[in-house]
Amino acid sequence: MTWGIQNTEEEAFEMLDYAVSRGVNFIDTAEVYPIPASDPRWVPGTTERIIGRWLASRSAADPGLRSRLVIATKVMGYSPSSETPRHRTDPPGTEDTPAHLDAASVAAAAAASLRRLGVDYIDLLQVHWPERYAPNFGATGYQPDRAAAHGGTVEIKETLGALASLREAGKIRWYGISNETAVGVCAWEAAAEQMGVAPPVSIQNSYSLIHREVENGVDEAIARGSGAGLLAWSPLAGGVLTGKYLGDGGSGGANASGGGDSGNGASPVDGVVAGVGAYRFKTYPRFQKRFMAPRALEATARYQQIARDAGMSLTRLALRWAASRWFMASIIVGATSVAQLAANIDDLDGDGPDGAVTLDPALSAAIDEVYLVYRDPVASI
């Protein structure tokens, strides 16, 4: 999601080449990427275009590459005004409009993603966030007044019908949902059953040591549902769970970037690969600031001590803990360098049956003890 802002196309190509060489086959993007949209260089769809150009260039020498990859992207949810919908046409339109998940918008978003990616089909098309009001992106607790003021009016069945039509046409293979609540997961599955179409195969939500809200009902919906697994985004909480923002890194001292992408020199934190973009939350202090909340950093320090006592980096602990959860389909890492990507892949070496990632039960128990004290410290009302 950084390709096109923090990372150049050349850097993205290098990371994609390396990932494929290590056996990675799942590539996740979205029509709104790269982010954050606050960056003056932001143009929605840029990341998809980069992936599409990489795929075209590499497929010339490896015609079977596309068939070995699982390419996932997302259609944005409701927004009262957005630049993204007008970028679904080529050339783009001139006026920002509200974004909805009505049938025409879903079809237009899918067509634009297919064009930018340069593919005949998308393996997994996900609804990036709901049309209806729902507490997400760190918010917790349903607020009726916010629901009443919310402008999202499209019912799940209309969105689902559009996704089913795309499947029937061979334009997507599967669909998933993202940033959903337990109520939302159950509503999607109920709608699929009532309409006689396939249910969602995945739920992509934020999940990490400092954001375990999935365990407030989404996990039960997964257990009692039709087989959808969790795709965890930001298992390192935007890099906070490397420990690099603790101490000087958290207060803007010598180990953190003071702005832009300068100042990202050698990092003293074990498991952190320094380089351009290594301190994203210093470059973009308003972006995902929930991960930098004081209690989130306090919890991170506690988890870092658990990792040190176990003789591993906090990065390794955080990734392996997330990957080993019973409801996990896969975790999504967002690297800004080949070195960082390599370190993350190394940390996820499979040591269990069929190559599964495992974690010592004693470490899981120690993590849970901290969690009971710092329960979702990134949450806000």
Residues designated as active site = 33
Residues near 80 by beta carbon (within 8 Å), at least 6 away in sequence: 98, 151
Give the single-character DSSP code of 130: -
Count of beta carbons in the 10 Å neighbourhood of residue 144: 8
- For residues 216 and 231, give the distance between their C-alpha atoms in angstroms, rounded to a whole number: 16
Please tell me what DSSP assigns to residue 86: G
How many Cα neighbours within 13 Å face the side chain of 41?
12
Tell me which DSSP letter residue 199 carries: P
Distance CA 273, CA 215 (A): 30
What element of type H or E holds 204?
A: strand 202-206
Strand partners for 330: 231
Give residue 55's identity as a one-letter amino acid code. L
- Return the SS3 of 221: helix
Provide the H-helix boundaries in 175-267: 182-195, 218-224, 248-251
Q: Give one DSSP letter per residue of 302-370, joined into a string.
A: HHHHHHHHTTS-HHHHHHHHHHTSTTEEEEE---SSHHHHHHHHHHT---SGGG-----HHHHHHHHHH
